[in-house]
């Protein structure tokens, strides 16, 4: 039995992860902790799963590395700078493995993969993410990660800058620009988690869209990561390699 602890256990995702771990025959839930709870039982775990907040997650990872525990992280807020900080923590105290994924849903992982492949074939690409209004961060971690991957794919392919004549703009009207890719965030009652990547050429358009309707959509990916992280030294970003989908 692989022993699992959950950080953020009383949150929306944490509760779903607790249920998924309890329902898996090969996993044992040894601790379910939230803000302010005692962490004593976490030290028995093989793997900690973190779905907390962008403010808390770096110190949580650091705590796990200090205690020699492997970590699966779904919490958002991971810029390239933060990923480098995690690598530095691992270098300073080897022994733990960390897997960080902006999105554990198969549909979202494929959406990001297809969008990255398609991006160099189009003159214009923008990202529109739509979420429930209780979400605290914008843009979503998935959208930020998609934009970075699209920008990298276009740079590798030698794509020219995207056409855009905007010189007069109300603040924020063109969304966030992440590595030059515009990202627009919608927060709407009734929605859960959705993203479109829109790609345009003269006379044609491609839309790549994924929809998560419920948090159970993340659980196969989270449990696959829990089972795999022990065999993946250092930092793994994304679950593409676990699913055999191209490169992370």
Q: Is 187 in the site for ligand NAI (CB under 6 A)?
A: no
Report d(CA 31, CA 69) in Å as an integer: 13
CA 125 to chain centre: 20
For ligand LZUJQKHR, which is the closer residue by CB, 141 or 229? Answer: 141
Tell me which of 97, 116, 140, 185 binds ligand LZUJQKHR, using CB under 6 A.
140
132 is known to lie in a ligand binding site: yes
Residue placing its CB nearer to ligand NAI in the complex, 53 or 159:
53
Q: Which one-letter DSSP state was computed for residue 53? A: -
Least distance (Å) between residue 165 CB and ligand LZUJQKHR = 31
Query: Among 68, 71, 72, 73, which residue's Cα sits nearest to residue 93?
Result: 68
In contact, 64 and 5? CB cutoff 8 Å: no
141 is an interface residue for ligand LZUJQKHR by CB under 6 A: yes
Cβ closest to ligand LZUJQKHR, residue 131 vs residue 154: 131
CB contact at 8 A, 221 and 104: yes
In the sheet that holds 193-201, the strands lie side by side as 176-178, 181-187, 124-131, 193-201, 204-212
| φ/ψ (deg, to 5) at 85 | -60, -40
Task: Report the DSSP pairing between strands 193-201 and 204-212.
Answer: antiparallel
Q: Which of 3, 131, 184, 194 is catalytic?
A: 131
Considering only residues 84-123, where is the footprint of ligand NAI by CB under 6 A?
Answer: 101-104
**DSSP-assigned states of every residue in 159-213:** PPPPP----S--TTTT-EEETTEEEEEEE-TT--EEEEEEEEETTEEEEEEEEE-
**Scanning residues 74 to 133, which ones bind ligand LZUJQKHR (CB under 6 A)?**
76, 102-103, 131
- Give ∠ CA 232-235-238 in degrees, rounded to 5: 85
Q: Is 135 part of the annotated catalytic residue set? A: yes
Which listed range, 51-59, 139-147, 156-164, 175-183, lies at the site for ligand LZUJQKHR (CB under 6 A)? 139-147
Catalytic (active site) residue 194: no
14 binds, among ligand LZUJQKHR, ligand NAI, none (CB under 5 to 8 A by kind): ligand NAI
Q: Which does 175 bind (CB under 5 to 8 A by kind): ligand LZUJQKHR, ligand NAI, none?
A: none
Cβ at position 114, least distance to ligand NAI in Å: 18
For ligand LZUJQKHR, give the closer residue by CB, 78 or 122.
78
139 part of the interface to ligand NAI, by CB under 6 A: no
Enter the tokens of residue 169.
């703009």
Q: Does 52 bind ligand NAI (CB under 6 A)?
A: yes
Within a 10 A sphere around the Cβ of 90, how many other Cβ atoms? 18
Residue 74, annotated as binding a ligand: yes
* Residue list, annotated binding site for NADP(+): 39
Which positions are catalytic? 131, 135
């Amino acid at each position: 039995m692989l022993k699992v602890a959950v950080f953020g256990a009383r949150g929306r995702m944490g509760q779903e992860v607790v249920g998924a771990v309890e329902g898996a025959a090969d996993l044992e839930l040894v601790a379910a902790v939230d803000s302010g709870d005692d962490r004593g039982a976490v030290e028995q775990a093989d793997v900690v799963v973190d779905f907390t907040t962008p403010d808390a997650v770096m110190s949580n990872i650091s705590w796990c590395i200090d205690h020699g525990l492997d970590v699966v992280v779904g919490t958002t807020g991971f810029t390239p700078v933060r990923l480098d900080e995690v690598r530095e923590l691992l270098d300073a105290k080897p022994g733990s493995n960390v897997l960080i994924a902006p999105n554990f849903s198969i549909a979202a992982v494929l959406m990001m993969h297809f969008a990255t492949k398609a991006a160099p074939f189009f003159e214009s690409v923008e990202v529109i993410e739509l979420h429930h209004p209780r979400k605290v961060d914008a843009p979503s971690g998935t959208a930020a990660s998609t934009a970075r991957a699209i920008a990298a794919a276009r740079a590798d392919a030698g794509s020219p800058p995207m056409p855009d004549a905007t010189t007069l703009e109300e603040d924020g009207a063109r969304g966030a620009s992440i590595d030059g890719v515009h990202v627009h965030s919608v927060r709407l009652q009734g929605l859960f988690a959705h993203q479109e990547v829109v790609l345009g050429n003269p006379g044609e358009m491609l839309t790549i869209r994924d929809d998560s309707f419920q948090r159970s959509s993340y659980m196969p990916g989270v449990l696959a990561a829990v089972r795999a992280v022990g065999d993946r030294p250092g930092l793994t970003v994304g679950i593409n390699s676990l699913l055999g989908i191209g490169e992370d």
